[in-house]
Structure 1
């Protein structure tokens, strides 16, 4: 195993962790700026993405977005008040409450997806397709090493 950092060569500004955090923060700011027209945030958009494919529980949504369950419940409360999501008891296990998009939520999800795609394309405009594929591969390897 190669050690890429040592006490002698470590610098915060050159740390992969710092750069990832900074890039992720910039992405969130750019997406939030664009989603403001819908009165939505990148965190809320993430919920819409997960729910576009199938219903989920609040706990599953919190786990997949690395958010605590209390914060997820508050976000879902706001989205439910706006008419974008609905909660219902599972037909197979009445103890489980599933969250799903409403028709209004599905329509907004499609519009927000366009914003996310445009924003990613803007931020990756100087990357070749091979660069993007390699970057994603590196990120997946780092995630798998965790």
Structure 2
């Protein structure tokens, strides 16, 4: 198969990378506007979702899963802990490891925040059939595997 992009046919506005980034930014903007009512952000949503659904349960896990700086994750966890949404405890198996989990209050907030994300995704996927959505997800997963 020939390469999809060449110097002759490449246009930033038509680049899949540019379009993915644009959709991502639109989703983030919509999610942040909706989460403002809860005094939360999309970055915090990512932490909530990873703690709720796994596989992350340490700051290092969260940083790796969310492709974020560990310092930024730690600062965000500090704020979430102050608000009573997460708690950190030393691992009984390895005292060097600090595990993070949602509190009951955090789990309740995670449900609210998850609904915000669902609403934003559904808004952006209006007009797509279930088959198109499955195909689109398949394409994205193949791109991730190619990376």
**What does residue 103 of structure 1 align with?**
104
- What is the TM-score with the length of structure 2 in the denominator? 0.95
For 2:48 and 2:71, locate their aligned partners in 1 and report how far apart those are by CA, in whole Å.
Answer: 18
- What is the TM-score with the length of structure 1 in the denominator? 0.96
Summarize the alignment of residues 53-64 of structure 1 with structure 2, pairs less than 5 Å apart: 53=53, 56-64=57-65
Structure 1 segments (4+ residues) deviating >4 Å: none
For 2:49 and 2:18, locate their aligned partners in 1 and report how far apart those are by CA, in whole Å.
Answer: 26
For 1:51 and 1:84, locate their aligned partners in 2 and report how far apart those are by CA, in whole Å.
Answer: 11
Alignment deviations for residues 86-123 of structure 1 (CA, whole Å, 9 cap, x no partner)? 11001111110001001110110011111111111111
Summarize the alignment of residues 30-45 of structure 1 with structure 2, pairs less than 5 Å apart: 30-45=30-45
RMSD: 1.1
For 1:32 and 1:39, locate their aligned partners in 2 and report how far apart those are by CA, in whole Å.
Answer: 9
Gaps (5+ residues) in structure 2?
none
**What does residue 9 of structure 2 align with?**
9
Aligned residues: 146
